Amino acid sequence: MSGSIQDTFFEECEELLEATDEGLTAIEGGDHDPETVNAIFRAVHSIKGGAGAFGLDDLVAFAHRFETVFDEVRAGRMELDGKLIQLLLRSSDQLSALVEVARDGGEIDEAHNDTLLAALDEYIPEEEEDLTFEPMGLGAPAPVADLGIVPEAPAEPQEETYRIRFQPLKEMYGTGNEPFFLFQALKDMGDLTVKLDENELPGFDAMDMSESYLAWDITLVTKDSRSMVEAVFEFVEGLCELSIDGEGDAEAEANALAALDAMFSTPDAPPAPPAADAAEGEAPAVPFEPPVPAPEPEAKPAPAEEKASAPKAESGKQEQRGGPKPTLRVELERVDRLINAVGELIINHSMLAQQIANLDVSDTRDVETELEGFKNLARDIQEGVMAIRAQPVKPLFQRMARIVREASAATGKTCKLVNVGENTEVDKTVIERLSDPLTHILRNAVDHGVEKPEDREAAGKSKVGEIQLSASHRSGSVCIEIKDDGAGVNRPRVKQIAIEKGLIPENAELTDGEIDNLLFAPGFSTAKEVSNLSGRGVGMDVVKNAVTGLGGRINISSTPGKGSTFTIILPLTLAVMDGMVVSVADQTMVVPITSIVETMRGSDDMINSLGADGTLLSIRGNFVPICDVAGSLGLYRESDQQAGVYLLVETETGQRCALAVDDIHDQRQVVIKSLDGVCGEIAGVAAATILGDGKIAMILDPESIIAASPTAAAFDTERRMSNAS
Amino acid sequence: MKTKVLAIDDSRTIRNLLAATLEEAGFEYHCAVDGREGVDMYPDVDPDVVITDINMPNLDGFGVIEELRGTGINSKVPILVLTTESAPELKSRARGAGATGWITKPFDDASLIFALKRVTGAAA
């Protein structure tokens, strides 16, 4: 089996599952368009068709059941009520799970699968229930051999002579079937003699050109089995009068037919030939229903696995036509190579600019104009490449609907997920790595956030909890919000747990925001016992780590009785960012522009002391703690160096801080080079970059520098106490 | 002269499977992603045989057969439908519309080629 075709199948499955989910969600939301139902039916049907080609029996069986129920709906024989929609949604989830197992391996939850199958069966009318998917394609010789239709010692099948009488009905001629081609197919099987019988041809005057007058008497000597001879006439069954008489023993024939009947008899396809047009004249002598042709001259018993044997495809065969909107499928690796090259191009540009600046030439204006053009082009290319990697969050969000359904089912709560901003585009890697954190947050929201239906009712809320998952672009970042309308963070309890676990001192004074953010503290878990749902022994700190690992931040805000909101802010891209190049104790460093509110040069009268060695910067009457970057990174200044420039930065929690640096050089785009695996994690440093002069510069992480600053912490406590009083 | 096949199926997987088998067997392969496109392509491709799926957006397989056999195009070439079930009523409906034969999915190389052979006489 060609891997590439199977890959295509799984890729296509993703799209089809998405379409299914989307359709079901629309129906759940009150969509009554018949085309929506049709689209879902087609999607599930395509999954089944493809799965059949690859012998994925579990998937085929499930898809078939699913599809059959949908066919009932489509035909208007069944009403789509709330209960059925829920079942279909869960079935769609299961279908995804089966696709995943087929692709990635793993175990199917048999019990769950069987439960859903049984539930689907209840919607399938009796007579349709046996429309079992026929696992055997046309021309699958294996089962024939298994059934012993081929004589027991198949090594040298006996030659047999068949006398065939073939008389097409006039109906056959409209179907594109040509007697000549049928004879050709027979000729391939052995010695063939064909004799035209034109006895029924009337005189010219009596001839009706739409009638069929001709018949053929055929003699075929072949080693092929009778069923293979019959298979040649499969398409004209019911469109002709046909008799096939073997000279051999009639008993074997009868046995073979009986075996076939046994194999194929179903309530709606009785053993009798289902000849549609057999009313005229004699009924065809032979049932054609089991199509069992095999063009191979020798039908050896084949192992069962071969029955769905698929084309020996050359890999890399491309389709000749795309969909209505032409798209190009490119290996991700190629795009990444391009992104790397663009990164190098940007670095190269800065190097070139630096070289030109260093040249001893009086007039560089022309060169600089061209260089500016170069820069703009490089940026265009970069944006273009980034756009290739960017994908809408829609598929991710749709998967999340499933998580919420599962979690609701497991906790006995009713929740619905409302997605907002599904078309927001985010870097592919970010999307991939967001899946786990989002799953965790959503399970948490259902498990801990949303109240039980009765509690919600008592609180005057709708029984159905609503969780809103939204995505939006916000000034160079992506903002993902998960907002539930549950009870909000139980602050006294969270604080209590944090004290019990020794995360905070007993007498700690914390703002509401800080208490909420304790949820992200390592080792914190509010579940009294690890629930099998959101618990799983992992806390929200894992979520936080995953988000910070993407260069993002996460924050929670909560209103008691109204619900909680998790906000995740992520960089648009993982490869390039705008940074401010600064120097700190002779080192060149880069601070992400997105975190800088303003910059200023400080004078002595702006600086005030706080405690033993803390300092505050006074800005327009407000005090902001100063955090010396050199100090927090453990760098030492020469005596003549001084931190005289301040970068005012604001954290996600609204805490402001002035980062003290020696000087600001430039603002430019830098290529982010990960330090992972090079030197481990350095507090205060997010990554590194290569500057125009070829030197490596650290990219700072203001958030963690502030978090580590004792002045900032002390000031923050003070600020809060003064706020409280 | 190679035998020209026009395959109409909205499933990329099935199109790829057909392409792989047919091209290897020496057929000239053309494909369309839905019924409408298939019918639109028909005059240009001028195939020797058409293979069409039934369940498709923008005109289903029955619609394809009806349009190809209709007075507008008046096609006489064999049309094979791809079906998942060997449900008799499906076959008789396809035949009623003017289909020549059917290929049951999943199909293997041999059965696909055999079906084509019976309606075009060509093994390639």
* Mean pLDDT of the region A431-460: 88
Residue A317 has a pLDDT of 39
Using alpha carbons, list the distances in angstroms from residue A593 to A57, A426, A597: 54, 19, 8
> What is the token pair recorded at A696?
């490596």
A621 to chain B, any CB pair closer than 8 A? The answer is no
Chain B residue with Cα closest to A68: B85
Task: Please state, as a whole number, how many other Cβ atoms lie within 10 Å of the Cβ of residue A601.
Answer: 10
Alpha carbon dihedral A307, A313, A318, A322, in 10-degree steps, equals -10
Residue A25 has a pLDDT of 85
Residue A5 has a pLDDT of 78
DSSP A269: B
Asked if pLDDT for residue A529 goes beyond 60, the answer is no
Give the residue extent of every domain in chain B.
Answer: 4-109
| Overall fold of domain B4-109 | Rossmann fold (3.40.50)
CA dist A625 and A710 (Å) reads 10
Residue A274 has a pLDDT of 42
Instruction: Round the average pLDDT of chain B to a whole number and report it.
Output: 85
Nearest residue, CB atoms, B55 vs list A42, A296, A319: A42
**Lowest mean pLDDT: which of A153-162, A462-471, A612-621?**
A153-162
Asked if pLDDT for residue A177 goes beyond 80, the answer is yes
Asked if pLDDT for residue B83 goes beyond 90, the answer is no
- How far A74 CA sits from the closest chain B CA (Å)? 12
* Main-chain phi, psi angles of A529, to 5 degrees: -125, 155
Nearest residue, CB atoms, B106 vs list A137, A269, A323: A137
pLDDT tens digits, one per residue of A78-128:
787 878 888 888 888 888 888 888 888 888 888 888 888 888 888 887 654
* Mean pLDDT of the region B80-94: 78
* Mean pLDDT of the region B40-63: 89
Nearest residue, CB atoms, B56 vs list A42, A294, A311: A42
Q: Looking at per-residue confidence, does B81 or A266 come out higher?
A: B81
- How far A217 CA sits from the closest chain B CA (Å)? 18
* Mean pLDDT of the region A684-702: 83
pLDDT tens digits, one per residue of A216-244:
888 888 888 878 888 888 888 878 888 88
Nearest residue, CB atoms, B30 vs list A53, A289, A320: A320
CB contact under 8 A, A309 and B109: yes
CB pairs under 8 A between A and B: 194
- How far A178 CA sits from the closest chain B CA (Å)? 7
Chain B residue with Cα closest to A269: B88
CATH of span A393-571 = 3.30.565.10
Residue A262 has a pLDDT of 53
A482 confidence band (pLDDT: 50, 70, 90): very high
CB contact under 8 A, B106 and A276: no
Task: Please state, as a whole number, how many other Cβ atoms lie within 10 Å of the Cβ of residue A110.
Answer: 9
A294 confidence band (pLDDT: 50, 70, 90): very low
**Lowest mean pLDDT: which of A66-80, A237-251, A612-626?**
A237-251
Residue A573 has a pLDDT of 66
Asked if pLDDT for residue A287 goes beyond 60, the answer is no
Assigned superfamily of A576-724: CheA-289, Domain 4 (2.40.50.180)
Contact residues on chain A for B108, CB-CB shorter than 8 A? 137, 139-140, 307-311
Q: Looking at per-residue confidence, does A381 or A323 come out higher?
A: A381
Q: Looking at per-residue confidence, does A186 or A541 come out higher?
A: A186
For tokens 């000749």, the residue is A320
Strand-pair category, A587-592 with A696-700: parallel
A53 to chain B, any CB pair closer than 8 A? The answer is yes
Using alpha carbons, list the distances in angstroms from residue A52 to A48, A128, A700: 6, 20, 54
Asked if pLDDT for residue B50 goes beyond 90, the answer is yes
Residue A565 has a pLDDT of 93
Contact residues on chain B for A139, CB-CB shorter than 8 A? 107-108, 110-111, 114-115
A139 confidence band (pLDDT: 50, 70, 90): very low
Residue-by-residue DSSP string for B36-71: HHHHHHHHHH--SEEEEESS-SSS-HHHHHHHHHST
Contact residues on chain B for A273, CB-CB shorter than 8 A? none
Beta bridge partners of A415: A465
* Mean pLDDT of the region A622-649: 80
* Distance, CA of A444 to chain centre: 22
Among A70-79, A704-713, B72-81, the range with the most confident prediction by mean pLDDT is B72-81
**Lowest mean pLDDT: which of A317-331, A370-384, B80-94?**
A317-331
Return the exposure string of A556-593: e unless at least 16 CB atoms fall within 10 Å of the residue's CB, then b: bbbeeeebbbbbbbbbbbbbbbebbbbbbbebbbbbbe
Contact residues on chain B for A323, CB-CB shorter than 8 A? 33
CA dist A466 and A446 (Å) reads 9
- How far B42 CA sits from the closest chain A CA (Å)? 14
DSSP A593: G
CB contact under 8 A, B24 and A311: yes
CA dist A370 and A352 (Å) reads 11
CB contact under 8 A, A5 and B13: yes
CA dist A602 and A676 (Å) reads 36
CB contact under 8 A, A137 and B108: yes
Contact residues on chain B for A185, CB-CB shorter than 8 A? 114, 117-118, 121
Nearest residue, CB atoms, A139 vs list B87, B110, B119: B110
* Rounded CA Rg of chain B: 13
Residue A257 has a pLDDT of 57
* Mean pLDDT of the region A528-551: 64
Using alpha carbons, list the distances in angstroms from residue A329 to A312, A334, A389: 23, 11, 12
CB contact under 8 A, B99 and A175: yes
CATH of span A3-128 = 1.20.120.160
Residue B8 has a pLDDT of 93
CA dist B122 and B109 (Å) reads 14
Contact residues on chain A for B20, CB-CB shorter than 8 A? 2, 5, 311-314, 317
Cβ partners under 8 Å of residue A58, min gap 6: A98, A101, A102, A108, A113
pLDDT tens digits, one per residue of A574-622:
667 778 999 888 889 999 887 788 888 877 778 887 777 778 888 887 8
- How far B36 CA sits from the closest chain A CA (Å)? 11
Q: Which amino acid type is present at position A438?
A: L
Q: Which of B16, B100, B36 is nearest to A12 (CA)?
A: B16
Contact residues on chain A for B116, CB-CB shorter than 8 A? none
Q: Looking at per-residue confidence, does A131 or A523 come out higher?
A: A523
Residue A483 has a pLDDT of 93
Give the residue extent of every domain in chain A.
Answer: 3-128, 141-302, 332-390, 393-571, 576-724
Contact residues on chain B for A12, CB-CB shorter than 8 A? 11-13
A267 confidence band (pLDDT: 50, 70, 90): very low
CB contact under 8 A, B114 and A231: yes
CB contact under 8 A, B86 and A134: yes
Helix spans in A359-413 (H): 365-389, 394-411
CB contact under 8 A, B109 and A175: no
3-class DSSP state for residue A284?
coil
Asked if pLDDT for residue A247 goes beyond 60, the answer is yes
> What is the token pair recorded at B55?
């369940």
Among A77-86, A712-721, B71-80, the range with the most confident prediction by mean pLDDT is B71-80
- How far B82 CA sits from the closest chain A CA (Å)? 10
Contact between residue A427 and residue A389 where contact means Cβ atoms under 8 Å apart: yes
